[in-house]
Amino acid sequence: MDIERFNADWLAAWSRKDVPALLGFYSEAVTYKDNQVPNGIVGHAALKRYLEGLFAVTPAMEYIPDATWPIPGGYCGRWNCSFGLPDGTNRTLRGFDLVLLDGERISYNEVYTHTLPA
């Protein structure tokens, strides 16, 4: 598996807010964690509901891959995300994903982010 290509395609689906495409990257029994759901959610149905709610309240965001590192069972990926706020200012997040794979689908995804200075 080409993890750089996989990661870039996956982040492009995040940028498009394309829930069906994103679910195609995840296994049916995925566990997903981020700042909003630190205890995690499990399964496609829960992830679908979460993503639909998240995308309904967030501005357009562009995720840009930075680096990937293979690890046993998956990879870690760092990215930057740019977005505009209602007041016209722009923000950039740096994020890091721990991705464990079951075949070619994500079985575990834990996301860490922090805001970069303007």
What the block records as the tokens of 83 is 């977005």
pTM: 0.92
pLDDT in tens, 32-74: 999 989 899 999 999 999 999 999 998 899 999 999 999 999 9
Nearest 5°: CA angle at 75, between 59 and 66? 50
pLDDT band of residue 118 (cuts 50, 70, 90) is low
Residue-wise pLDDT for 12-29, tens only, equals 999 999 999 999 999 999
Do 50 and 34 contact (CB within 8 A), yes or no?
no
Domain range annotation of the chain: 3-113
Q: Do 13 and 90 contact (CB within 8 A), yes or no?
A: no
Distances in Å between the alpha carbon of 93 and those of 6, 63, 83, 106, 111?
21, 9, 9, 22, 12
* Cα–Cα distance, 26 to 50 (Å, whole number): 14
On whether the 3-113 domain is CATH 3.20.20.80, my answer is no
